[in-house]
């Protein structure tokens, strides 16, 4: 899984995840999260643990984390 520079920064800032834990966390997000919306074949959003994760797909159809947004109650 690939994470953009912006995505890495947001995971560290909003979740406090170190670099080594980010890939493991995102695998759990994709497995256990709820698909929130899908925009064609290139983008999708997943809700997990009160955060919205925005993904895109690369040319090999692997997910790429773009950003993480906190969801208010």
C-alpha 62/C-alpha 16 separation (Å) is 24
Q: What are the residue ranges spanned by the domains of the chain?
A: 2-70
Which pLDDT score, from 0 to 100, does residue 41 have? Answer: 86
Q: What are the φ/ψ torsions at residue 29 (nearest 5 degrees)?
A: -60, -45
The yes-or-no verdict on residue 13 having pLDDT over 80 is: yes
Model confidence at 73, pLDDT cuts 50, 70, 90, reads low
What is residue 40's predicted lDDT score, i.e. its pLDDT?
A: 86
Q: What is the pLDDT of residue 7?
A: 97
What superfamily would CATH give domain 2-70?
RelE-like (3.30.2310.20)
Global pTM value: 0.92
């Amino acid at each position: 899984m690939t994470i953009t520079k912006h995505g890495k920064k947001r995971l560290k800032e909003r979740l406090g995840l170190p670099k080594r834990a980010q890939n493991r966390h995102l695998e759990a997000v994709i497995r256990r999260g709820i698909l929130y919306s899908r925009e064609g074949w290139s983008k999708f959003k997943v809700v997990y643990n009160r955060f919205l994760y925005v993904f895109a797909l690369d040319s090999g159809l692997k997910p790429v984390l773009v950003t993480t947004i906190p969801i208010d109650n």
